[in-house]
């Protein structure tokens, strides 16, 4: 079977030749938009979770496209609070105390600020998409979280001056 496709005119499929017999162009016959839609859907369905990149996940969290539970419990609580807050906070505090330098604390703050902004925006957007009871709970918790973070800045600055 020989398939020859002539170049499209006016962005439409025109003359398709199969075994030297003409198939009518889209102006004259069948509508190929359904076939194009099916092909597009199959390509989207064929994308497996393994093909997703980490940067796509970061973008999805930022846009609020991930689930509220995943955004809050995985990214905010587990990674943000426990991983970065407790783990790196303890490490930076220990190194800072041993070296009598506040540089590790500044590095930790420089790493935490972009992460906090990213996850705060992601939580708010995901909660706004979800709405309902848990959506509003997360929105209120994010506002409280932001206020307490901003209120703790003067205390953090005073503590950093101890190591100078």
Provide the residue ranges of all domains of the chain, joining segments of one domain with +: 3-46, 65-163
| Strand ordering across the sheet containing 3-5 | 3-5, 16-18, 21-23
* 8-state DSSP, 32: -
Q: What is the reported pLDDT for 47? A: 54
Q: What is the reported pLDDT for 25? A: 52
Q: How far apart are CA 125 and CA 131, in angstroms?
A: 10
pTM of the model: 0.61
Mean pLDDT, contiguous 10-residue spans, the chain (164 residues): 51 48 53 65 54 85 93 93 89 88 85 90 92 91 90 76 62
Q: What is the reported pLDDT for 44? A: 52
Q: What is the reported pLDDT for 59? A: 92
Q: What is the reported pLDDT for 13? A: 47
Q: What is the reported pLDDT for 89? A: 87
Q: What is the reported pLDDT for 163? A: 56
Q: What is the reported pLDDT for 50? A: 53
DSSP assignment of 67-108 equals: -HHIIIIIIIIIIIIIIIIIIIHHHHHHHHHHHT-SHHHHHH
Q: What is the reported pLDDT for 12? A: 46
């Amino acid at each position: 079977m020989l398939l020859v496709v002539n170049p499209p005119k006016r962005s439409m499929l025109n003359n398709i030749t199969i075994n030297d017999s003409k198939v009518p162009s889209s102006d004259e016959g069948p509508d190929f938009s359904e076939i194009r839609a099916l092909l597009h859907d199959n390509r989207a369905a064929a994308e497996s979770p393994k093909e997703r990149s980490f940067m796509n996940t970061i973008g999805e969290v930022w846009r609020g496209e991930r689930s509220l539970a995943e955004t809050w419990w995985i990214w905010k609580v587990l990674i943000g609070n426990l991983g970065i807050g407790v783990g790196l906070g303890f490490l930076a505090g220990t190194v800072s105390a041993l070296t009598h330098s506040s540089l590790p604390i500044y590095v930790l703050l420089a790493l935490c600020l972009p992460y906090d902004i990213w996850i705060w925006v992601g939580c708010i957007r995901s909660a706004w998409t979800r709405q309902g009871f848990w959506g509003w709970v997360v929105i209120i918790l994010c506002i409280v979280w932001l206020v307490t973070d901003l209120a703790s800045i003067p205390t953090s600055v005073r503590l950093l001056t101890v190591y100078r």
